[in-house]
């Protein structure tokens, strides 16, 4: 049985813990590896290694740090297929989805290659007579990243490449459910030239995270995961005087205006709702049909019903299994609650399975209509292949519905009216808006900007905001008297 090592100070270490967790293949729940819950000493060792590496790494020229990112980008591209296969096996994602997971991470590394210009400060000459002011940015020190199961390549890559490019060192605590992919990312990072201690990887759950959040040497914490955990981590990290950015759960609405292009809407909603088994923080989980567009619901349900779950290497599979039996159980009980609370289940995936893999965490595509905002399937994040359809009279009613929802990660509107789109993008209280685009995940030269309960903090992931999150600004005001120049005449004016 493969045991997952810790990666500390450039060495792969077998944990001395007595607490181990199973890493499973979600397609049949067979155990593929065991991951340790690191001991307190091991966690402290990782933080100390990062702190010690910081004293050197912070002085490495920014151009050399950028070159590490260039080599890393090339290595990730060369190993993209190998990483995607590993990722598929521990998450159950289809190979195509897994390739996308890695690719979106590579794009963030490409952003980190631009670090010399991203870190540049500001200058002003003669802010007073003979006085100049300039600012530059400096790294913070040891940064920590805590990541979820659903994007084991992309989300760690949202964090450590930019943090390290800024001159920080990093301790990553990936999801205990799929730690093999992040370990592979860390191995390639060292191969790209990151010195020992610059990136460390530790494993475990709440207890391990708590130790990191209480470590005085940790200066900043990046988290992605569920709302209750994100809120708790934000509170603990900031109470311990650390910078924190916590990206949390979602309930993303898509508003379908009656003037939208029907074919475009239906094509896009199918993939955006049940793709990746709905285990995406930007999945469309609520379709809000405005006026006459509600007549498209039966055709949408019919198309969604044709999508089949399957194994990661089955090219006909639309998506894979859920990550764990517990996740499957949670989704099944929400589907049941939808039926009990009066929604109409047009497509029911609760009994769907995959032949030969009956032990896997399968749920088929599921579509509800007649959903109202008091139902559990509307109020809770389902994180499964379940789409809730709602009907409203007009755009104002759609806006009011979306704005009352406590989440604010992403939303989209489908329409052929510029003024409807403009009103929606301006008035909706959600941080990422798609117009005739279902999943508006910004590319890494922008930032990932969830709002409300989907994000706790102020500076967001990747893009310019991440560089500000991982750096501190220093402002220097300087005056050099002319008579400081050797051989210059004494310019001091004496007033008698």
Which residues form the catalytic set?
281
Q: Could you give the CA distance from residue 126 to residue 295 in angstroms, rounded to a whole number?
A: 67
Comparison of 305 and 412: residue with beta carbon closer to ligand NAD: 412
Of the listed pieces 188-196, 218-226, 253-261, 362-370, which binds ligand NAD according to CB under 6 A? 218-226
Between residues 205 and 291, which has the closer beta carbon with respect to ligand NAD? Answer: 205
What Å distances lie between residue 229 and 100, 171, 197, 244, CA to CA?
Answer: 26, 19, 27, 13
Phi, psi of 432 (to 5 degrees): -140, 120
Q: Does 209 bind ligand NAD (CB under 6 A)?
A: yes
Per CB under 6 A, which region of 7-15, 129-137, 191-199, 226-234 contacts ligand NAD?
226-234
Q: Are 388 and 285 in contact (CB under 8 A)?
A: yes
Question: Residues near 67 by Cβ (< 8 Å), separated by ≥ 6?
Answer: 193
Q: What is the CA radius of gyration of the chain?
A: 25
Determine which residue in the list 454, 465, 466, 469 makes contact with ligand NAD, applying CB under 6 A: 454
- Contact indicator for 327, 276 with CB cutoff of 8 Å: no
Among 149, 189, 312, 378, binds ligand NAD (CB under 6 A): 149
CB 324 to ligand NAD: min, Å: 9
| Contact yes or no for 144/222 (Cβ under 8 A) | yes
Quick check: 90 binds ligand NAD (CB under 6 A)? no
Residue identified by tokens 């870190």 is 119
Q: Does residue 402 touch ligand NAD according to CB under 6 A?
A: no
Which one of residues 250, 269, 288, 382 is an interface residue with ligand NAD (CB under 6 A)?
Answer: 250
Burial class (CB in 10 A: 0-12, 13-18, 19+), 471: buried
Q: To the nearest whole angstrom, how small is the minimum distance from the Cβ of residue 231 to ligand NAD?
A: 10
Query: Binding of ligand NAD at residue 147 (CB under 6 A)?
Result: yes
Among 139, 141, 145, 148, binds ligand NAD (CB under 6 A): 148
Based on the shown chain and the rule CB under 6 A, indicate whether residue 225 belongs to the binding site for ligand NAD. Answer: yes
Smallest distance from the beta carbon of 454 to ligand NAD, in angstroms?
5
Residue 52 interacts with ligand NAD (CB under 6 A): yes or no:
no
Helices 418-427, 395-404: axis angle to 10 degrees equals 20
Among 450, 457, 466, 470, which residue sits at the site for ligand NAD (rule: CB under 6 A)?
450
Kindly state the smallest distance separating residue 179's Cβ from ligand NAD, in Å: 9
What's the closest the beta carbon of residue 329 comes to ligand NAD, in angstroms?
A: 14
Beta strands 455-456 and 243-247, pairing class: antiparallel
**C-alpha distances in angstroms, 192 versus 8, 10, 67, 165, 406?**
17, 13, 9, 13, 42
Which range in 134-142, 248-256, 391-399, 470-478 contacts ligand NAD by CB under 6 A? Answer: 248-256
Torsion of CA 68, 165, 452, 457, to 10 degrees: 150
**What minimum distance in Å lies between the beta carbon of 402 and ligand NAD?**
17
* Span 161-200, contacts to ligand NAD by CB under 6 A: 173, 175-176
C-beta closer to ligand NAD: residue 145 or 365? 145
Count CB neighbours of 394 within 10 A.
12
- CB proximity list for 388: less than 8 A, separation 6 or greater: 285, 286, 287, 338, 343, 368, 371, 375, 377, 378
Residues 127-146 that bind ligand NAD (CB under 6 A): 146
Count the site residues for ligand NAD by CB under 6 A. 29
**Residue 277 DSSP class:** G
CB of 150 to ligand NAD, least distance (A): 5
- Say if CB 102 and CB 83 are below 8 A apart: yes
- Tell which one of 205, 271, 325, 370 touches ligand NAD (CB under 6 A): 205
Which residues, 258 to 297, sit near ligand NAD by CB under 6 A?
281
Using CB positions, name the residue nearest to ligand NAD.
225
Site residues (CB under 6 A) for ligand NAD?
A: 146-151, 173, 175-176, 205-206, 209, 224-226, 229, 232-233, 247-250, 281, 381, 383, 409, 448, 450, 454
């Amino acid at each position: 049985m493969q045991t997952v090592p810790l990666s500390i100070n450039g060495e792969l270490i077998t944990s001395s813990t007595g607490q181990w967790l199973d890493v499973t293949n979600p397609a049949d729940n067979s155990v593929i590896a065991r991951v340790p819950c690191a001991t307190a000493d091991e966690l402290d060792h990782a933080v100390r290694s990062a702190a010690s590496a910081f004293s050197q790494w912070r002085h490495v020229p920014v151009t050399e740090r950028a070159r590490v990112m260039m080599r890393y980008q090339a290595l990730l591209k060369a190993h993209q297929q190998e990483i995607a296969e590993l990722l598929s096996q521990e998450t159950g994602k289809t190979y195509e989805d897994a390739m996308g997971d890695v690719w979106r991470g590579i794009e963030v590394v490409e952003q980190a290659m631009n670090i010399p210009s991203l870190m540049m400060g500001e200058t002003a000459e003669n802010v007073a007579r003979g006085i100049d002011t300039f600012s530059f940015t400096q790294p913070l020190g040891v940064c920590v990243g805590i990541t979820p199961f659903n994007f084991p390549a992309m989300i760690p890559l949202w964090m450590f490449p930019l943090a390290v490019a800024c001159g920080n060192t990093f301790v990553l605590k990936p999801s205990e459910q799929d730690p093999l992919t992040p370990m592979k990312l860390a191995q390639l990072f060292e191969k790209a030239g990151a010195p020992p201690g610059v990136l460390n990887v530790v494993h475990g759950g709440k207890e391990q995270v708590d130790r990191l959040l209480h470590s005085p040497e940790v200066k900043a914490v990046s988290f992605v995961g569920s709302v209750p955990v994100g809120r708790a981590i934000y509170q603990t990290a900031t109470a311990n005087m650390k910078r924190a950015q916590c990206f949390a759960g979602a309930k993303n609405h898509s508003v379908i205006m009656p003037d939208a292009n029907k074919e475009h809407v239906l094509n896009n909603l199918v993939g955006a709702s049940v793709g990746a088994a709905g285990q995406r923080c930007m999945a469309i989980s609520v379709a809000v049909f405005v006026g006459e567009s509600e007549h498209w619901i039966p055709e949408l349900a019919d198309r969604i019903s044709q999508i089949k779950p399957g194994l990661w290497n089955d090219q006909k599979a639309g998506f894979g299994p859920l990550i764990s039996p517990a996740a499957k159980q949670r989704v099944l009980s929400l589907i049941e609650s939808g039926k009990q609370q009066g929604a109409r289940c047009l497509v029911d995936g609760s009994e769907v399975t995959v032949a030969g893999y009956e032990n896997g965490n399968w749920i088929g595509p599921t579509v509800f209509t007649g959903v109202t905002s008091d139902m559990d399937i509307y109020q809770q994040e389902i994180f499964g292949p379940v789409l809730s359809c709602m009907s409203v009279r007009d755009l104002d009613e759609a806006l009011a519905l979306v704005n009352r929802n406590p989440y604010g990660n992403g939303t989209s509107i489908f329409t052929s009216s510029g003024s409807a789109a403009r009103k929606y993008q301006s008035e909706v209280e959600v941080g990422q808006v798609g117009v005739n685009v279902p999943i508006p995940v910004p590319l890494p030269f922008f930032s990932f900007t969830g709002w409300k309960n989907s994000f706790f903090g102020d500076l967001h992931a990747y893009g310019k905001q991440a560089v500000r999150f991982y750096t501190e600004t220093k402002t220097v005001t300087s005056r050099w008297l002319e008579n400081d120049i050797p051989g210059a005449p004494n310019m001091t004016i004496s007033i008698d």
